[in-house]
Amino acid sequence: MSLYSNTLAVVRQYLSMAVGDLLYGQAGTTGATTTKIYAPFLWQANDYYNNHNYNVYAYAGTNIGVEKRVTDWVLADFLLTVHSAYAAACDATSYLELSRIFTEDDKRKAINMAIESLVGKYVIEKIDITSVRLTSTEDNLGNTVYTYEYTMPTDMYYVHKVTTERGVSGIKLTGTVSGAFTAGETVTGGTSGATGELSYGPASGTYIRVRKVSGTFVVGETATGGTSSKTCSAITAVDSETAGAGYWDESDVIDPRDWRLISSRKLKLHEDYYSVDEDLYLRIEGQGRQAVLATDAAICYLPLDWVVQKAITFLPQSKIGSNKLDNVFRQALLFSANEPRNSPHPASRKVIE
């Protein structure tokens, strides 16, 4: 798995600190309105933050993602006034950043430009266990037709290992499914009292599949999920079939000769050597690219120190110069010139677009 894991909010705050442009803390409710923020973590004299052209940005809680210009500051009340009203007043869930040089938009764009500069040079480890489910269909003669081609996870660009979910004895309950069940929850038959652990049960399905069954489910009853409260009602068939065990064993790794990647973004299993077991999931191991960060909770898996220094080089040059940050900029250029590298696994195959 990736060595690094930082949210956009964390990366931005380190970037802000590196250029001397960050004050941050928790808001409160005392005297707060839709235009006033109670900010007890600030300490400067009256009007300091509006006179120095500060912006305030909420990076968590109420008003997350909203940036506004400070127009007044009263130290005695710890109240910041902003230039326009929020939809709701900031409160104790609101965590705020104040900056006077660079806007949140400046910093986010610089961070994303730093990320994009490493595309193809630093790959992110990826493991996907939910995107590829083995399926089958039925032809006009009632014959089962197994599916051997599957769409790859959207964020996977290299693959080196594919493993089939371990199968165990299970029960398939066919009926009317009310919504998405929760994997692993206990499912109970309303009439029989039989129980099982959910293996498969999506919102759009016409059946669910359970494992570790105790008792005997019966036709006509309703099976209910203990966590989700979703139902499989008016059960028309109860069949003994393989269910997913919820884990992937090394003994179930698919021979590399029995799968290949084809266009476009498809995994193809070998019809002659691989047996499809419906509703089991494939575990796909490989590498992907770091996506650009659009929200404060989005995760950056690249080395934090490098991203911060590289982002400095993409901040608006006019603001760098006018705020005497030229030395900081030059140091960032030198540091970020040494780009980190993380190559695909030696056995990886490239996903075909």
Q: How confident is the model at residue 36 (pLDDT cuts 50, 70, 90)?
A: very high
The answer to pTM > 0.75 is yes
Same domain, 164 and 220: yes
Q: Are residues 161 and 193 in the same domain?
A: yes
Rounded to an integer, the average pLDDT of 209-222 is 97
Phi, psi of 177, rounded to the nearest 5 degrees? -95, 125
**Strands 223-225 and 282-288, how do they pair?**
unpaired
Judge whether residue 281 has pLDDT over 80.
yes
List, for residues 67-93, the tens digit of each pLDDT value: 999 999 999 999 999 999 999 999 999
Token pair listed for 18? 């590196």
Nearest to 148 by CA among 277, 242, 276, 258: 276
Domain identity same for 57 and 31 = yes
Quick one: 137 and 273 in the same domain? Answer: yes
Please name the amino acid found at residue 66. Answer: V
Cα distance between residue 352 and residue 330, in whole Å: 40
Closest alpha carbon to 132 in 289, 2, 272, 248: 248
185 and 237 in a common domain: yes
User: How many domains does the chain contain in total?
Assistant: 3
Same domain, yes or no: 243 and 297: no
Arithmetic mean of pLDDT, 292-303 = 96
114/8 Cα distance (integer angstroms): 13
b/e string for 225-258 if b means 16 or more Cβ within 10 A? beebebbbeebeebeeebbbbbebeeebebeeee
Instruction: Indicate whether 82 and 176 sit together in one domain.
Output: no
Indicate if the pLDDT at residue 204 is higher than 90. Answer: no
- Specify the amino acid at residue 205: G
Residue 209 confidence (pLDDT): 97
275 and 253 within one domain? yes
- The domain in which residue 233 lies consists of 127-285
Question: Which residue's entry shows tokens 């109420």?
Answer: 62
**Residue 216 and residue 88 share a domain:** no
Last residue of a domain, one of 285, 317, 340: 285
Q: What is the DSSP letter of 277?
A: -
Domain boundary among 100, 135, 157: 100
> Which amino acid makes up residue 349?
R
pLDDT score recorded for residue 4: 87
Model confidence over 240-277: pLDDT tens digits?
Answer: 999 999 999 999 999 999 999 999 999 999 999 999 99
Averaged pLDDT, 329-334: 98
User: How much is the average pLDDT of 3-30?
Assistant: 96
Q: Residue 195: what pLDDT?
A: 98
Domain stop point among 31, 65, 100: 100
Residues 254, 154 within the same domain: yes
Whether residue 169 sits in one domain with residue 272? yes
Residues 281 and 132 in one domain: yes
Q: For the segment 41-55, what is each residue's pLDDT rounded down to a tens digit?
A: 999 999 999 999 999
Integer Cα distance of 144 and 259 in angstroms:
21
Locate tokens 């009340």: which residue?
77
User: How much is the pLDDT for 2?
Assistant: 60
Q: What is the mean pLDDT of the chain?
A: 96
pLDDT higher than threshold 60 for residue 123: yes
The mean pLDDT of 4-31, rounded to a whole number, is: 97
Average pLDDT for residues 18-41, to the nearest whole number? Answer: 97
Query: pLDDT value at position 3?
Result: 76
